[in-house]
Every structure is written in C-alpha cells, then in structure tokens.
Chain A
C-alpha cells in the first residue's frame, strides 16, 4: 500500500509551535544554575526551604517539562502517524506555562504562598489541560496507536494529576483545604511527577528515538509493554501505600517494580545499540545513552535511604536523590536529545524549501560540536562535584560544582541559540 507525499498521514508540526518551548527551557536551565550558584548554602539545609523549592520547580517545570512539551508537540504526530490536532492549543499551552512558571518560582523563592503562587499554579494547570486535550484529540483522529504513544499519553495524565495536586498544596498553605499539612504530601507530589510524568514520557519517547538515531532495526513491543505496566503498577502501589500510611518497607515493592522496569528498558536500549546499522555513534546519542544508566543512580540512593532511614539522618541523601533526578538523569537526556531534535526542526524550517536542489548542510552542522563536547565535560564535572558537595555539606564543593553547571548552561544556551539563528547559505542556490 502506498502513501503519497502530499497526503502522507504524518505532518510535521510547525516550527513556530515548537521553538518557543526550546528557547524557554534553555533560559530556564540558565536561571536554575544562577539560582543554584547564588544559594549554594540552601543545599546543606532541609530540602523543604524556599530556595530549593524555587530551583526544583525551575528545573522540573521550566527546564524538563517545557522542553518535553516542545519536543513532544513535534514527535507525537510522528509516533501516532498523524498530525497535531491544534496549533492554537499548543500556543495556549506555551503561553499559560510561560507566565505561570515564573510566578510560581518567584512565589516559592519569596515563600509567599498567596495570590501569586495560586495564579502561577492555575496557569500551569491550564497549560497542562490544553496539552492533554491536544494530545487526546490528535490520538482520536489518528489511525495508529502504539506503545510509545500510550506511554506518552499516560505520562501526560500523570502530569495533570501532579500539577493539580501541586495547586491544591499551594492553596492549602493559605486556606487549609486539606486536613493535613502540605509538606506531608510532598513525596507524593514529587513522585507522581518524577515517575508518572518524566520516567514514562522519557522511556516512551526514548525507546522510539534512541533506536531511530542509532538506525537500529531492533524492536520489542512486548518488552516495552512490560516496562509500561511495571512502572504504572509501581506508582499505583506507591499511591496506595501513601494513603494507607504503612511501613517504609512496603515501598520497596514500588522500588522493585520501577527498578525492574528501568533495567528492562536499559536492556532494550542495549539490544538496540548492539543491532545498530550506524557503527559510529555521535556524542549526542552517547550522552542520551548515559542518561539511561543515570536513571539507576536515584534508585540506588533511594535504596540506601530506605535501608538506613530508621537510624540515620538522611536529609543530605534525600537532597542528593532529588539532585541526581533533575540535574542528573533528566538533564543528561535533555542535553543529548536537544541536539538530535532541535537541529532537525530548524533545518526543516530553513532548508525544506531548497532541499533536493543542491548541497545543504546537515542538521548537525547547525551547532558547534566542540562546544557541545566542552558542555558535556563541564556538565559531568559540575554534576559530580556538586553531588559530592551535597553529601559532604561542603560549601566549597557546592560552589565549584555550581560554577561548572553554570558554565554548562551558558554553553548549552550558546549552541541552542546558534541553531535558532541559523540562516540558509543562499549563495549555494543562486544558480538554481
């Protein structure tokens, strides 16, 4: 059966929809690292403090969520072999989040949990609702439903539950609408987001993208379905235990299920790598594969926390746990995948009309690969030193680590905006 070009079911989402998310995320990463460097002492205190809340939400919403929203607006139509239902909903999703996130972060930083925090929370929820509706309608109109799309859509449902609970927690600070203190719900709110949103989405999209960029023919849908059920079962078990207030030991069931899912996913990526056609793997894919390994680090830290929680003050380990999630696993995959997706989006924008008429640069020529390598090196140094700083409560280590992470963010922004401002080299086509 043929699919003819102009009526092909896959339609690229307009770059106008996608690019603002990438720009916003890059700037958020920069803001988060500046906040880190200005508030390193906060990382030696209890994790529930205004500075940590502000940095965490800048990373989780401004950096992680915004770039995933941008990339998924582009990739979701490809995964469902259809098209994005509405550009207007996508613009609204961006606008609501773009205004809501700084309001919420500012409110956390000042710890003013009244009007500004509520407005921020409501706008973020509106953004997620627009995104959810857009994806639901896109799926409804598409012909192909597959495991990757199910991963992605389920993750957005978890995102909505996370942001809704987040809004209730903010509201609870000023109006006591819940019977207990908001702080008690923090771990539930955090894990709904980390496992339900980030882990499901990253595995769903990563299991499609990483083999594709390796040009690997390896496919194992059954294995991915198993990963899907293990993660959701682990998360549901966590929610049930949370409300039953059972012993910490029972959480090991969730940890076991999710840990097993990550190992199976790692094995899936390993086989994709083994069966790849492209033998030379570029740095961007290497960094993305590293992030799969880094997923296990928070799991190991959590295991340590659960084993020693009863008699040791594990506040620094909890801080390290959060740090390895947002600055480790999530940041690593974004650093790698940005330079595998953004250049293609901009390349399509700049060269689509002249492709096939002469020699065009490759998408990878749109950014500076040397800067990318320096960014990766600076990131790995910063991540390791800052992580040590948290464990040792050392201001010196935290400062040095934060400087390297700030350098990482500056270099990352340099390359991102170099791609953004790329212009076609028209001289090559003047004779066409």
Chain B
C-alpha cells in the first residue's frame, strides 16, 4: 500500500495543484489476493472535470510504474460524491482551508 501511495502522491489534480491522495480522490486500492490485479477506486472533484481523463491515465501509469508485474484497473465512481471533508490534514494546510 505504501508503495502505491508513494507513486500516487505524484499524480496531481493540475487545477488545484494538490496530489490526488491528499485531495481525497482515491477511495480504495484493492490488491486482489487470487491474481496480480489491482483495482483503484477513485473519484474526481466534479464529474465534469475536463482533466478527468488525464488524471485517470496518470493514476494508471503511476500504478504500473509502482507494480510493473500487476494489472491495474482504475475505476471512477461518483458515489459518494467528493467533498471538502475528504481532503487530508496536509491538504487542508496546503490549501489554507
């Protein structure tokens, strides 16, 4: 998990200039026990985010970089919808909230 998160700290929401982990966009990272598959369940700040495709691709790329022998699938969900309470303490500090 730590390896995954270290990589994902480099995936930024370019508009907010904060990484997707501190922003609270990553809901779950599911390492399948019976296979080499990893499911990343994540959201976007808005379902209309024009950078959505790029953020999803960057997440996939980062996971592949961290786990080259695993098959990663990034799944987008909007349930529950993202809100401010999902931002980490470090994120709150960074954004001066």
Contact = CB atoms under 8 A, between A and B. Distances in A.
Interface of A: 1-5, 8, 10-12, 74-75, 78-79, 81, 208, 212-213, 215, 217, 277-280, 341, 344, 347-348, 352, 355-360, 362-364, 432
B54 interface: yes
Interface in B19-55: 41, 45-55
Contacts of B74: 4-5
B16 interface: yes
Given A356-B61, A356-B65, A363 B47 contact: no
Interface in B50-67: 50-62, 65
Nearest to B45: A215
A1 B10 contact: no
B58 A3 contact: no
26 contacts: A2-B76, A3-B75, A3-B77, A4-B73, A4-B75, A4-B76, A5-B56, A10-B52, A12-B54, A74-B50, A78-B50, A78-B52, A278-B95, A280-B96, A347-B54, A348-B51, A352-B54, A352-B57, A355-B12, A355-B58, A356-B11, A356-B59, A356-B62, A357-B61, A363-B14, A432-B65
A145 B87 CA distance: 30
B76 A3 contact: yes
B65 A357 contact: yes
Contacts of B51: 344, 348
A277 B65 CA distance: 32
A357 B79 contact: no
A43 B55 CA distance: 49
Given A5-B56, A8-B56, A277-B84, A344 B61 contact: no
Contacts of A11: 53
Given A78-B52, A344-B51, A348-B54, 8 more contacts: A3-B77, A5-B74, A12-B50, A78-B50, A215-B16, A352-B54, A355-B61, A363-B14
B1 interface: no
Contacts of A352: 54, 57-58
A217 B85 CA distance: 12
B89 interface: no
A2 B45 contact: no
A79 B49 CA distance: 9
B2 interface: no
Contact of A356 (B15, B16, B52, B58): B58
Contact of A79 (B12, B48, B52, B96): B48
